[in-house]
Amino acid sequence: MTAAARPQDHVAFVDPLAGDPDLRPPSLQPAKHRGVHRRVLLRATDQVAAAAAELLALAVPVDCVCCGVEDLSLCVACERRVRHLTKHPFRAEAQAPALMDVGGGAILPVVAAGVYRDELAQAVLSFKSHGQYQLRRVLARALARAVHAAVPNNPGICLVPVPSGTGAFVRRGFSPVHLLLGSPAAGSLLAGAPVLDVLRKSHRRQGAGGLPGGQKGLGRGARASRVRGSMRVPRRKLDGVAGRRCVIVDDVLTTGATLAEAARALHESGAVVAGAVVLAVTRPPDSAGGGTASAEAGGKGPDLEKNKPRKDE
């Protein structure tokens, strides 16, 4: 179990499958309004950002990335839906084959803010691949709520973002996870947990014939082969991470190969990997060929192959 967390290292993550949207009856209560920050500075920042977005919409017309309504990159109704989809963070490692051992036990516990589908999927895709930076606030708060649910009242925990690949960073101009963790909208929910930017992409090319490119379209084995040995902690960063209790943070969880590789690199650097948190998790098709799976089959939801994210980290 050297590639990930040991059972005794785990922090108090939320109960397995608690709040899993595919295993829970629909809520009879609508999603709450986004609310107001308790801190004056964060509240003022939120209000200024909202006003700036309205002024920008006057100069540069925009449409909602989900429904196409004019003037806002994410309209009120769709933003409410995104909040509803991320209202109950849940344990998601059972959906990632690379994070489960042969006996069905979890190698690395993972908490997801929501399932990669509907408005949440469109918002994440638009933020990552289409330069919709205005979505940063709502996505950052969703990710921060998942972190808060995963490790409440756990002093000493530090957050380690998964780095973007060089090609993805050049194409986008930013790293999605770093940008979300640095958002003022996430600050009040992260409870002062430090962000340690210690993971780096290795120059070694592993698997897939050493071919460059992302993981889009690759199967489970090819994904694992491509990311194996692809991350490291530089020597100058070792002293800052050795002995620290870390939670890995990523945007979208698919097979779990990326998180497993990040955990391996941190563990070999002397860190204690307590678990991971992601913004969204994909639902793989069930063994019967798609459709809604039963709870006995692991709680897998509908076939989301058509909504697979572009995974190029």
Query: For 182-223, how does the pLDDT look when each residue is reduced to its tens digit (9 = 90+)?
Result: 888 787 677 678 899 999 988 655 444 444 455 555 545 555
CA distances 243 to 40, 271, 272, Å, are: 36, 5, 6
pLDDT band at 285 (very low <50, low <70, confident <90, very high): low
pLDDT band at 164 (very low <50, low <70, confident <90, very high): confident
pLDDT at 304 over 50: no
In a domain, 70, yes or no: no
pLDDT at 132 over 90: no
Q: Is the Cβ–Cβ distance between 226 and 158 less than 8 Å? A: no
pLDDT at 301 over 60: no
C-alpha to C-alpha distance for 252 and 115, rounded to whole angstroms: 9
Percent of the chain with pLDDT over 70: 65
Among 41-45, 118-122, 193-197, name the one with the lowest average pLDDT.
41-45
The pLDDT score that the predictor gives to residue 209 is 40
The pLDDT score that the predictor gives to residue 5 is 53
Q: Give the total number of structural domains in the chain.
A: 1
In a domain, 221, yes or no: yes
DSSP string, the chain: -TTS--GGG---PPPTTTT-TTSSPPPSSPPPP----SSHHHHHHHHHHHHHHHHHHHHS--B-TTT--BT-SS-HHHHHHHHHHTSS-EE-GGG-GGGB-TTS-BSS-EEEEEES-HHHHHHHHHHHHS--GGGHHHHHHHHHHHHHHHSTT-TTEEEEEPPPPHHHHHHHSS-HHHHHHT-HHHHHHHTTPPB----EE-S---SGGG--S--TT--HHHHHHHHTT-EE--GGGHHHHTT-EEEEEEEEESSSHHHHHHHHHHHHTT-EEEEEEEEEE--PPPTTTSSPPPGGGTS--S--GGG------
Among 23-32, 97-106, 237-246, name the one with the lowest average pLDDT.
23-32
Note the residue count of the chain.
313
Of the candidates 145, 179, 197, 158, the one whose C-alpha atom is nearest the C-alpha of residue 35 is: 145
Mean residue pLDDT across the chain? 75
In a domain, 263, yes or no: yes
C-alpha to C-alpha distance for 79 and 232, rounded to whole angstroms: 37
pLDDT at 162 over 70: yes
Task: Read off the CATH number of the domain in which 131 is found.
Answer: 3.40.50
pLDDT at 8 over 50: no
In a domain, 303, yes or no: yes
CA distances 14 to 22, 88, 252, Å, are: 16, 10, 19
C-alpha to C-alpha distance for 182 and 176, rounded to whole angstroms: 10
SS (H, E, C) 218-236: CCHHHHHHHHCCCEECCHH
The pLDDT score that the predictor gives to residue 6 is 53
The pLDDT score that the predictor gives to residue 290 is 38
Percent of the chain with pLDDT over 90: 31
For residue 188, the enclosing domain spans 7-22+88-307
pLDDT at 142 over 90: yes
The predicted model scores a pTM of 0.72
pLDDT at 244 over 70: yes
In a domain, 52, yes or no: no
The pLDDT score that the predictor gives to residue 269 is 92
Q: What are phi and psi of 157, to 5 degrees?
A: -80, 135
Q: Tell me: the pLDDT tens digits for 75-94?
A: 888 999 999 999 999 999 98
pLDDT at 60 over 70: no
In a domain, 245, yes or no: yes
| CA-based torsion, 202, 203, 205, 211: positive or negative | positive
In a domain, 49, yes or no: no
Q: Is the Cβ–Cβ distance between 255 and 226 less than 8 Å? A: no
The pLDDT score that the predictor gives to residue 7 is 44
Q: Taking residues 145-149, what's their average pLDDT?
A: 91
C-alpha to C-alpha distance for 267 and 271, rounded to whole angstroms: 5
Q: Taking residues 13-27, what's their average pLDDT?
A: 59
In a domain, 36, yes or no: no
pLDDT at 255 over 80: yes
Q: Is the Cβ–Cβ distance between 269 and 297 less than 8 Å? A: no
